[in-house]
Amino acid sequence: MKLMRVGPPGEERPTVIDENGQIRDLSGHVPDFTGQGVSLAALETIRGIDLTTLPVLPEGARIGACLGAVPNFFCVGLNYAKHAAETGAKPPAEPILFSKAASALAGPNDAVTIPPGSEKSDWEVELGVVIGKPCWQVSEAEALDHVAGYCVVNDLSERAWQMEHGGQWIKGKSAPGYGPCGPWLVTADEVPDPQALGLSLDLNGERVQDSDTSDMIFGVAEIVSYMSRFMQLVPGDLIATGTPSGVGLGMKPPRFLRAGDVMELRVEKLGEQRQEVVAAE
């Protein structure tokens, strides 16, 4: 299934895309795609609905974040071999884990506002993983059984705030709108191998990131299993699994986002995003 939320900010409706590509309104059946609303049990309930009985919504409405809210917005750093090389970092021996603020969530096509004082905002196309049932101390072989689905994430980053102010990376990852996700939450049954997905990002029409998830140092199953050694993952948790090479920080000289820039990003099977960069008012 492809699940999507449409409507103005704060008024999004949960929807499902039917076999003909029509947007069907689920708001009479599920409150929203948050927490238990994206549990494996909730997804099974949605699968049991006769979609032809649901109202069809017109196309053209704003697409919201595919998750209405998240208990946790986790990220994995330096998880593509070529990306680690472009930053001059040694490939990590274990996954580097950090978080974004949950308030960074945004729609896939919402404008990205450069926050006041930012000079080094950067782009990062990533595969997002959504947890579908509690996950604690699970093996790598069991890990994917706990995944509800996948989505496109732009892990936008303010590099100065991330790297030049001490402390944790979360400061450079969490500005409002710095976590676009969607357009769809694609259920796991439609993505049989998360390590075989192409992903790319174009900046102003120029392809700057172009890779696939086989370049991950730690695959999705390993990431989920590893995280579950230290914390219990819960339904609705979102994990951004790392970005491939081609970020602005790794260019020579470095290149960062400015007002008027346009990012277009995609992950195979999961859809596309388009964001225009605007200056803070």
pLDDT digit string (tens) for 200-244? 999 999 999 999 999 999 999 999 999 999 999 999 999 999 999
Pairing assessment for the beta strands 271-279 and 2-6 based on DSSP bridges = unpaired
Range of the domain at 245: 73-279
Over the stretch 115-167, which tens digit does the pLDDT of each residue have?
999 999 999 999 999 999 999 999 999 999 999 999 999 999 999 999 898 88
Same domain membership, residue 87 and residue 12? no
- DSSP conformation class of 62: P
Same domain, 44 and 143: no
Clarify whether residues 168 and 40 are in a common domain: no
81 touches 173 (CB < 8 A)? no
Please indicate, yes or no, if residue 68 is contained in any of the structural domains.
no
- Tell me, what DSSP letter sits at residue 114? E
* Claim: this prediction has a pTM higher than 0.95: yes
163 and 208, same domain (yes or no): yes
Contacts of residue 146, defined as CB under 8 A and 6 or more positions apart, other chains included, come to 131, 132, 133, 134, 135, 138, 224, 233
How many domains would you assign to the chain?
2
CB burial string 69-103: b at 16+ within 10 A, e below:
bbbbbbbbbbbbeebbebeeeeeeeebbbebbeee
